[in-house]
Amino acid sequence: MTNKVDGSRLSHEVALEIIKSQSGTKYDPEIVYAFLNLYKE
């Protein structure tokens, strides 16, 4: 994950929650689904 403005980083768990919460609005739901399935492996 890239650095935020303040220089801190998101944990993987927080980043995944953000991606899930923005599925269908900012991110294509099919891509999110595929990504999450690959990430689990």
C-alpha 40/C-alpha 12 separation (Å) is: 12
- Residue 19, exposed/middle/buried by CB under 10 A (0-12, 13-18, 19+)? middle
Per-residue pLDDT tens, the chain, 41 aa: give them. Answer: 555 567 678 899 999 999 999 999 999 999 999 999 998 86
pTM of the predicted protein model: 0.71
For tokens 């099919």, name the residue.
30
- Residue 18, exposed/middle/buried by CB under 10 A (0-12, 13-18, 19+)? middle
Count how many domains the chain has: 1
Domain that holds residue 25: 1-41
CA distances in angstroms from 31 to 10, 14, 27, 41, listed in the order given: 21, 18, 7, 16
